[in-house]
């Protein structure tokens, strides 16, 4: 379960940032991740709770924003949001989607202190 190692890395990063700011309390960490990032949201939320236990991050929230997959359709010449990550076809013309523009991200966007 790689979500646990991701959660632990985020906790380490947030703890270090809190220390740099004089030991402030982090109440939430905001994360954006794409549907193709390989991260399972529920597993990450569970891992966050487990990994925070006994640390200065205990009681903090993990706020997740999921990013949809957007592809460039070579036929339509437009950006299209995929209806499903299981179907890499333009939802308008059904051409195969070959260029992924968005959806692989995994980034911490904010800390609430």
pLDDT over 90 (residue 80): yes
pLDDT per residue as tens digits for the range 21-72: 999 999 999 999 999 999 999 999 999 999 999 999 999 999 999 999 999 9
Structure tokens at 87: 């179907």
pLDDT over 60 (residue 1): no
Q: Structural domain boundaries of the chain? A: 2-112
Sequence-separated (6 or more) residues with CB below 8 Å from residue 28 = 60, 61, 62, 63, 111, 112
pTM of the predicted protein model: 0.85
CA 12 – CA 10 distance, rounded (Å): 5
Topology of domain 2-112, CATH: hypothetical protein PF0899 fold (3.30.2320)
CA 85 – CA 35 distance, rounded (Å): 7
């Amino acid at each position: 379960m790689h979500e646990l190692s991701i959660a632990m890395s985020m906790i380490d990063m947030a703890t270090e940032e809190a220390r740099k700011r004089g030991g402030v309390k982090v109440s939430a960490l905001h994360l954006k991740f794409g549907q193709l990032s390989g991260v399972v949201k529920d597993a990450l939320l569970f891992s966050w709770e487990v990994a925070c236990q006994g640390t200065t991050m205990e009681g903090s929230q993990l706020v997740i924003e999921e990013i949809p997959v957007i592809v460039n359709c070579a036929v339509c010449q437009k950006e299209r949001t995929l209806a499903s990550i299981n179907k890499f076809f333009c939802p308008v013309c059904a051409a195969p989607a070959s260029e992924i523009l968005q959806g692989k991200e995994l980034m911490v966007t904010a800390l609430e202190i």
